[in-house]
Structure 1
Amino acid sequence: MEDWIIGVIVACILAVALIVLIIILCWKCKKFRVCLKDDVENQIQTISGKLADRDVSSVSGLENKAFQSATQVRDSVHVQNEVTNVQPGDKLKVLQEIRDAQNRVAATAQKKVLDIEQQRLEQQRLEQQRLQQQRLEQQRLEQQRLEQQRREQQRLEQQRLEQQRLEQQRLEQQRLEQQRLQQQRLEQQRLEQQRLEQQILEQQRLEQQQWYVQVNTLTEYDDEEDDDEEDDDDDEEEEDNRARGRRRGRSRQRDRDKSRHRSESGDFSRKRETTDPNKTIDLHYLSLQDAMNKFMNFLKAMENDYHNSNFRRVDRFVHIITGRGLHSRNRIPKIKPAVQSYLDTHNYTHEWKNNGGLVTIDLYTKRRNYM
């Protein structure tokens, strides 16, 4: 757009120069004024038509410029008219003034061209600055968008990592809770098993005490009956029987002390136990009370050992030496019936050997019957 404006201005300048030349050549002609007016009007119409065809928006500016050019031409025509009326001596002066006017017009036109060029360059510079600023603004916005996108990705990544951490914590807590519940359940089972075992042992202890009380009661009744029968003898043999009873009592006391001493020292029973690979206890030369106490303590200890050995069948047999009662009073056995009664009462599987002086007890069958 600026190029064709410059072209129009140059054309106007050339037209003005041509008009000036025509004026110089025809200043003596009488018809110069009429022809000059017609030519100027035709040129103005031609330039106005071209400008209207090229750009309607700049018609007013160009018409103003054309009007100024026409005004200058009319002024020059007026000057020529005056020149015709001037004396011949003043013609050179007038021509010099005309040339000065033409130079001023040319300088003004050139200045306008330079101003227009400067305006164009300034507009171009401003347009470049605007484009540069727009590009920088776009880059800044793009950087902001990328920065926001990066921050959003970082936020999402942190959120994902936080979720994973929380999920791991939840799983770890769940695992610990399961372990705690498992340990608690095992502890409850162990305590329940201990409670049942204590219940069983307590029940066995009470049964043993009850049986022991019954046995002692029966033994006392037997001794009282024997004493009553001896008192019913004849008066003649009363003194002899008392003496015999005292001797028998002293003998029984000596045997009781001897058996207690052997039991405390453990020589006799240790000899029996070391000769037998299985567990064995000897109740010879013991009173009924001492024998039953030793028997029940031994049987309880063997049962505990058997339970702690995970019920192995190789350790399930124990042997009890009761004797046949040959050393008892009136050769009536007391330890053997008491042991037999205890085993039958508590459902022990047993077998008598050595003519009834040795009993073998099976602890495994006792456990199976109890379960």
Structure 2
Amino acid sequence: MNDKNLFKEDTLISRDVDSTIEQIVEYIIRDYIFSWATKCVPDDESFRESLAIKIKNEIWVVLRNLITRMREIDTVTFFSEKLPRILQRHFEKFNLALAHQIDENQHIVRFMVARHLGDDQAELEFIRKVCEYLLRILFPSNYAFCDEFIFLMREVFAKHVIFNAIDYICDPYFINHQANVYGSVVGPVASSLESSFGSINNATQTGPSMSTPGFLVDDEEEPKEDISDSIYDLVCEIFALKRAHIRRAIITLFQVAFGKTINRQLKDSILQLSSEKFIHDQLIKFMNAFWPDGVLAESNPPVSEDDRKLTYLIAKQYLITSIPDVFLNLIGQQNARKGFLKVFEALQSKKANKQLFYDILEAFILELSPELKTR
């Protein structure tokens, strides 16, 4: 067998990360491709090994193309300007829906979503279009221009993988459950902000960052001197601080409290999230969750309504008791509590969560494919 394994020949991110990715790819080939493809190929072990390597190599090329495009993204600008703007618009819609809510005892607030979220079929058709575009720009050209192959892969990914994955992670039960299992959705942010607030007096004496370089961010590039207006707008939207004089006061407080350090911290956080260690740790968690001991995990049983309600109440109580002091000091206990509860309640609608997910996905694809901006 003369086929070379590109995972062994070249490096995508690092040796450890590539090894874990290769293991996950092997599991996917075994459980999602060979489970049916073996009926269509000769019953020959050598042939199947060669076929597996060919499939792995094509996936390697896709990952290489994806990483190459991701490295061209201005990651700091995306997270500090574009993402906060998306979140600000989302919470603005939530606030409008909340103001027109008829039943005040109903904790799920309903608001308008995109047309493709009208029903499952419309959503699936939208995912098909997204998949087809991504497949054509990421797969090697000999596949990208083969409609039969693209349509087949589109159906496999859209219908059997992506639709189910989005439906799962946008379920409020999943979000609330993760908040309970891993501590809190605001835990890492709270720790970072508490650390910053405790070292305000030393902000101007802060030395060079000691962050581990991330493969998506150039650590030599200095962040902007001040955070963008989109972050201020997001804070004001969440905590209902829209009056001009209040907004100016909040901006002043943030500048006095954090100075330039908040931009440095933002970049440090992005560096950490794109570091080899973080990526490797998350891949290990993903692999162990879906393939414990190397065996495909069984589907979880349906969640009862009582379990959903209990998980919701526990997550809500945890959030109320875990508001960082920095927010209490900057905007007051009542505003802070209302703001954090607003964020929590905004996550209790699956369709609203999907709307937010697709808004972020659209922005990411535009960054991934700048050629779309000129169309």
Which TM bucket (shorter chain)?
under 0.3
Q: Which has the larger radius of gyration?
A: 1
More helix by share: 1
TM-score (ref. length: structure 1): 0.20
1 or 2 for the larger relative contact order (CA 8 Å, sep ≥6)? 2
TM-score (ref. length: structure 2): 0.20
More strand by share: 1
